[in-house]
Amino acid sequence: MTDAVELIRAKRAGQVLTDDDIRWLISGYTSGDVADEQMAAFLMAVCFRGLGPGELRAWTSAMVESGERLDLSSVPAPTVDKHSTGGVGDKVSLVLAPLVAACGVAVPQLSGRGLGHTGGTLDKLESIAGWRAGLSAAEMMSVLRDAGCVICAAGPGLAPADRSLYALRDVTGTVDSIPLIASSIMSKKIAEGTAALVLDVKVGSGAFLPDVADARLLAQTMVELGAEYGVRTSALLTRMDSPLGRAVGNAVEVEEAVATLRGDGPADLTEVTLALAAEMLAVAGITADPAAALASGQALDRYRRMIAAQGGDPEAPLPQARQAEKVTAGQSGWLRRLDARAVGVAAWRLGAGRARKEDPVNHAAGARCLAKPGEWVEAGQPVVELLADEVARLPAARQALACAIEIGPEPPDPAAMVIERIRS
């Protein structure tokens, strides 16, 4: 079949497509011969019907082959990247990349922008005056050699098919599909040329996959894809029922990440970051203590070097919202739940995220979690602070939190942030 409509019908009917069919579809979409609306229909069919193992391999390979592949062989240190499936308040990369670099591992991290109710690492870092996400391959290598880590956008020549599909999925309700998530992530990482990869697969209300079984399947799928391409890959399943840390947005998350690099970060964010750092060092074969690198200030120094090398001023003041409103506790008791998805939607409505792929984000907008589950709150005590530049955005954000806060007479059961580890 070499007709987009026939391929849509075939996938909708549950038929297995050939490698040639898939290569033709990806190539046609990249060249513009397959229209956005046709690919959107196909993606929706995949959401309902899935991709078989052979189809997934062909889909991933076609995206890798749609562009160039980076050569990191000249980097003197072992290379390890990390990728998160997305969460609310997930600023881990901002702390993790310089932390692992301080331990002797080179971290070439290609990151993305906000997708749905979750934030994007590049959007966060663009809160910093002068910082650039778009680097050439030569610039990326220069930053990597100088700072030991780089966080940037995938270049236009790196898996270009995924770049287009990523934006289309965001606005067509086709984000939460295991094969589409797995192929999107792994095509970029394979093309990037890193020797090893650690995946942070989020589980909970704020994740794209709230169910542990689905998250485990996604992790296993990506670990297997990595192994097929010779990339040492492992995954951690981590909790995302409540926002990670206390800041949700762009500038506010940068502020919290820097506080964490100074050793003054929230306990849950620090726990997840150190666990991922240990996993990255393990797959790289490096023996080092990430907690010591964090405490010593070495990680903060690497962060500053990375930001400066990408044109940013690490000392520049961050954008501040012009409007703020506090959401308070309706009764006294233990905060049992602060729903991550609801807080993410609230931040998105305040302007921290985008509704369409071409929309800008407001770097000052977001939310602060003034209380977290497991803490005692008094009636009338502020639980969440909403931040916006436009007062008109506040009511819709407040509405998103209508059922997000649960207070009870008993504290929630404590739980470790890392649920399990998956390796090939």
Q: What tens digit of pLDDT does each residue of 363-376 get?
A: 999 999 999 999 99
> Both 402 and 376 in a single domain?
yes
Active site residue 363: no
Compute the mean pLDDT over every residue in the chain, rounded to the nearest whole number. 94
User: Can you give the chain as a three-state secondary structure string?
Assistant: CCCHHHHHHHHHCCCCCCHHHHHHHHHHHHHCCCCHHHHHHHHHHHHHHCCCHHHHHHHHHHHHHCCECCCCCCCCCCEEEEEECCCCCCCHHHHHHHHHHHCCCEEEEEECCCECCECCHHHHHCCCCCCCCCCCHHHHHHHHHHHCEEEEECCCCECHHHHHHHHHHHCCCCCCCHHHHHHHHHHHHHHHCCCEEEEEEEECCCCCCCCHHHHHHHHHHHHHHHHHCCCEEEEEEEECCCCCCCEEECHHHHHHHHHHHCCCCCHHHHHHHHHHHHHHHHHHCCCCCHHHHHHHCHHHHHHHHHHHHCCCCCCCCCCCCCEEEEEECCCCEEEEEECHHHHHHHHHHHHHCCCCCCCCCCCCCEEEECCCCCCEECCCCEEEEEEECCHHHHHHHHHHCCCCEEEECCCCCCCCCEEEEEEC
Percent residues over pLDDT 70 in the chain: 98
Q: Tell me what the mean pLDDT of segment 78-82 comes to.
A: 96
Q: Tell me what the mean pLDDT of segment 86-94 comes to.
A: 95
Give the CATH number, domain containing residue 374: 3.90.1170.30
> Both 304 and 336 in a single domain?
no
> Both 229 and 365 in a single domain?
no
Active site residue 241: no
> Both 240 and 342 in a single domain?
no
> Both 305 and 331 in a single domain?
no
Q: Which of 316, 332, 364 is the last residue of a domain?
A: 316
> Both 196 and 259 in a single domain?
yes
> Both 309 and 338 in a single domain?
no
Query: Which of the following is catalytic: 163, 169, 302, 393?
Result: 169
> Both 239 and 377 in a single domain?
no
> Both 220 and 277 in a single domain?
yes
> Both 95 and 196 in a single domain?
yes
The answer to whether residue 250 is domain-embedded is: yes
Query: Which of the following is catalytic: 61, 93, 127, 184?
Result: 184
Give the CATH number, domain containing residue 25: 1.20.970.10
Q: What tens digit of pLDDT does each residue of 229-244 get?
A: 999 999 999 999 999 9
Q: Tell me what the mean pLDDT of segment 337-353 comes to.
A: 96
> Both 143 and 208 in a single domain?
yes
- pLDDT band at 281, cuts 50/70/90? very high
Domains held by the chain: number: 3
Query: Which of the following is catalytic: 81, 90, 123, 162?
Result: 162
Q: Tell me what the mean pLDDT of segment 415-419 comes to.
A: 96
> Both 35 and 96 in a single domain?
no
- pLDDT band at 119, cuts 50/70/90? confident
Q: Which of 316, 348, 383 is the last residue of a domain?
A: 316
Query: Which of the following is catalytic: 188, 202, 305, 341?
Result: 188
Query: Which of the following is catalytic: 11, 49, 82, 83?
Result: 83
Q: Which of 316, 345, 362 is the last residue of a domain?
A: 316
What is the per-residue pLDDT for 169? 87
Parent domain of 17: 4-50
Active site residue 169: yes
Active site residue 188: yes
Active site residue 84: no
Q: What tens digit of pLDDT does each residue of 287-315 get?
A: 999 999 999 999 999 999 999 999 999 99
What is the per-residue pLDDT for 406? 98
Q: What tens digit of pLDDT does each residue of 239-260 get?
A: 999 999 999 999 999 999 999 9
